[in-house]
Structure 1
Amino acid sequence: MKGTGIRSMLLLVIGAASCLLSGCWDRMEVNDMAIILAAGIDQGAHNEVELSLQVFIPASGNSSVMTQDSRKSSGRGEQTLVSVAKGTSLADAVSHLQERLSRRLFWGHNKIFVFGKQRAEAGVKDDLDFLLRYVEMRERADIYVSEGKAIEVMRVIPELERSSMEALRELSKTEVSTEVDLRDVIEQIVETPGQTFYVPYVLSGSAMSHENFVRNTAAPYFKGLAIFKEGKMVGNVDNNLTRGVLWLSNKIKKSTITVVPASVPGNVSISLSRNESRLKPHINANGKWGLTISIQCEGDVLQNTSSLDLMKPDQMHLIEEKASELIRSRVMGALEKIKKGMGADVFGIGEAFHRKYPRQWNKEKMKWRESFSEMDIELTIYVHILRPGIMSKNIPSLNQKER
């Protein structure tokens, strides 16, 4: 009797607990989703927002990229649909776009946001507010600015990747550009006095389309960096000066530079595998703010088309000096253009002063733009080549020596 009572009570407890369990009442099947791969944000008429979404279509057959007016552009890769809607705000545009699709928009796979240049220049703060508040957005989604309209980039069909989203993300991992995601942008806005940051600046969609881009392989997807201040794009730098920005901000990846010796014809290409920059702020007795930047690089010789014998220390030192001069020109070019022309501290210089001189910084930060523009900067660059290769000279020079 006692065992029967305990079993009955146990069954009663289990039955009562099961009533509290909920099923998957809010689940969503894959067939009910419109899976977003990329989002483009453009400036519309009358200060409206024009939102374009690249949506994955899980269907078999010939691949194509389509807009909702049923126009098709030939190409390969994954099937995608580009859907467009306008609104008074980004949230309003999303709601209008949802009205046009039979499936619920799913943002979980969206990995890039592309702002059109006109929208970036008008300001992106309001758009970032929505992207941060909406619970489905990914903080690690990369951000780009297009030279033209963002919707053109959504329609691009790459040669090697399944969509323009994958092409941009993969290219960001190379030495040509850099990755900047939503979280990075917000951190820079919060931490920098002028709310400054940079994002990759890409070609217009027509320039990177199948007809133009494949026939002009010398043109990369990236044109450099778009510079933002107080939520608005204030300018851009080209690919050469982009390297200078990345060297200064300690975000340069493995890079290749080619130097031309003045004494002999030909050139030497160097692969820089280690790059380190240090910012050393200082305030002198007169209260003048200054900065010393030291950049150290190490690398290997990739190719030597000159007659220099890189096994000889004096000739190797010549190449190291030329490499230092090249890096200096790019770094100083980036500093001069951004510091004086845009007044945007995207290098982290203000943060370096904040860490070393917190009291002085609290007094100076409100007029940091003027102080930053007028600051004296001393730049020291040292390049050390570790491995010149297995040959002391190039092949023509070796042949002449044998004769």
Structure 2
Amino acid sequence: MRNRLSFIFIFLFACLSGCSNYKELNGISIVVGLGIDYNPSKDLYEVVYQSINPSENTAQGAGSGATPIVTYKTTGKTLSEAAMNTSNVISRQNIYSHIELVIIGEKLAKKESLNFIFDVFERNASSRVNVPVLMARNSDVKTIMDILPSNDKIPVRTILGKIKNASDSLGEHGIIKIYEIIENLTGLGSEVAISGISVLGNKETGTTKANLETMRKTYVKLDGMAVFRRGKFVGWVDGKKTKSLQIIKNKIKKTNLRIHCNKKRYNSVMVNRLNSDSNVDIKNNQVVITIKTNTYGYISELLCNKDISKKKIKKEYERKAERELEKEIKEGIVAAQKMKSDVFGFGEILHYKHLSKWNKSKHHWDELFSQAKVNVHVHMDIEGTGMRIKPYPY
């Protein structure tokens, strides 16, 4: 009896311990980049996939000379339908758990709300929501994803590296992920802003291997910030104005300030520490936004014949840096006010600090924000001058 029970147990264990969802590697396609766009002439949604070509990404061997990635596109009346239509295009099953970047098309953003676009991501258990998002600018998504870079085999990873580099070193572009967009769409008092990306150079050459063989390369570059209101795309913010969002949300790690030293020349101050505190209130039916920012940095370039070792000169440069940063923050907020989009989350701050006032104003917060009074106070400490104190004679 005991032997019979042991045999049954071993038999059941062998049957139940198998890999029920086992898939052969040569039967799957690992998708690392996903693009979503819209074709207005056909009234169809387009989904672009960038998957790895295994034979061209091996550690050993030279490969066959093909491109290291495979990019293809499917269409449908819904995003799910377009995704299912991949079975008509490729012989392998897509695996979405390794997606590293999602790019939204400008045409799609003008037609549909972000609520529609990201609904499918939150419902689908096979896709992650901690993936960075960018928005295509002046180009379709597939062209941007097709541009072959010279310093990395996988275009999507090159783009991802640029976002991280710009976020860490420049401060004008931040990384926003799917779950953060969903939080802004479903939350109160905060709108969505997504960094843009465009193509610089010849698009036709950039999508071929000829781009790797010329010095006049076509490449993709981060380009402005897309602003949304209630999920709808309303416009772009460019240049240093985009820095204000990273400063106010305390996401900035490092940035550079250009300050006048005389009528013709500038100095550079590298900000390497920054902390902002925002307060929002409603007084006499007007929203009052107060931002206090403490910054610390060092002189990274000195092009004036002034002795920085003197306390008076150091204070002069600190005040100029304060005014420059105040200007950049204010210009960014004014740009958002013109679009009536509170991408900074000031409404969310009012909601937490003054609940009764928020309840009275939340239904017309867009209007109140656009007419808000903004006060910006910056305190700057220059803590060093680099490896040299005295300037060269000019």
Same fold, judged at TM 0.5 (above): yes
Partner of 2:97: 108
Partner of 1:336: 334
Alignment of 1:4-403 (within 5 A): 7-8=2-3, 11=6, 14-15=9-10, 17-18=12-13, 21-44=16-39, 45-60=41-56, 61-65=63-67, 79-123=68-112, 124-147=114-137, 148-174=139-165, 175-176=169-170, 177-193=173-189, 196-204=191-199, 209=206, 210=211, 215=216, 221-262=221-262, 265-284=264-283, 286-340=284-338, 342-396=339-393
- After superposition, the C-alpha distances for 1:58-99 in whole angstroms (9 at most, x for unaligned) are 11425544xxxxxxxxxxxxx111111111011111111222
Q: What is the alpha-carbon distance in structure 2 between the residues aligned to residue 296 and residue 55 of structure 1?
A: 44
Q: What is the alpha-carbon distance in structure 2 between the residues aligned to residue 38 and residue 392 of structure 1?
A: 48
Letter of the structure 1 residue corresponding to residue 290 of structure 2: T
Q: What is the alpha-carbon distance in structure 1 between the residues aligned to residue 131 and residue 391 of structure 2?
A: 46
Return the offset for 1:308: 1.6
Q: Name the Cα RMSD after superposition.
A: 2.5
Query: Contact 1:111–1:138 (CA<8 Å) still a contact in 2?
Result: no
SS in 1 for 2:107: helix
Q: What is the alpha-carbon distance in structure 1 between the residues aligned to residue 131 and residue 371 of structure 2?
A: 36
Query: Contact 2:290–2:375 (CA<8 Å) still a contact in 1?
Result: yes
Return the offset for 1:281: 1.8
Instruction: Identify the range of structure 1 (290-299 vs 45-54) with the bigger mean alpha-carbon deviation.
Output: 45-54
Q: What is the alpha-carbon distance in structure 2 between the residues aligned to residue 287 and residue 31 of structure 1?
A: 65
Structure 2 stretches lacking a partner, 5+ long: 57-62
SS in 2 for 1:308: coil
- After superposition, the C-alpha distances for 1:315-346 in whole angstroms (9 at most, x for unaligned) are 11111122112212211111111112x10000
Return the offset for 1:17: 4.8
- After superposition, the C-alpha distances for 1:254-285 in whole angstroms (9 at most, x for unaligned) are 1122222237x53222211111111112333x
Q: What is the alpha-carbon distance in structure 2 between the residues aligned to residue 146 and residue 304 of structure 1?
A: 38
Query: Contact 2:305–2:392 (CA<8 Å) still a contact in 1?
Result: no
Query: Contact 2:194–2:227 (CA<8 Å) still a contact in 1?
Result: yes
Bigger radius of gyration among the two:
1
Query: Contact 2:225–2:236 (CA<8 Å) still a contact in 1?
Result: yes
- After superposition, the C-alpha distances for 1:189-247 in whole angstroms (9 at most, x for unaligned) are 11134x62111111137568448x96489x97111211112222111111311112221
Q: 1:165 to 1:205 in 2, by over 3 A?
A: farther
- After superposition, the C-alpha distances for 1:89-118 in whole angstroms (9 at most, x for unaligned) are 111111112221100011121111111211
Return the offset for 1:389: 2.9
- After superposition, the C-alpha distances for 1:120-147 in whole angstroms (9 at most, x for unaligned) are 1112322211122112111111111111
Partner of 2:59: none
Letter of the structure 1 residue corresponding to residue 36 of structure 2: I
Structure 1 stretches lacking a partner, 5+ long: 66-78, 398-403
Q: Give the TM-score, by structure 1 length.
A: 0.86
The share of aligned pairs that are identical, in percent, is 23
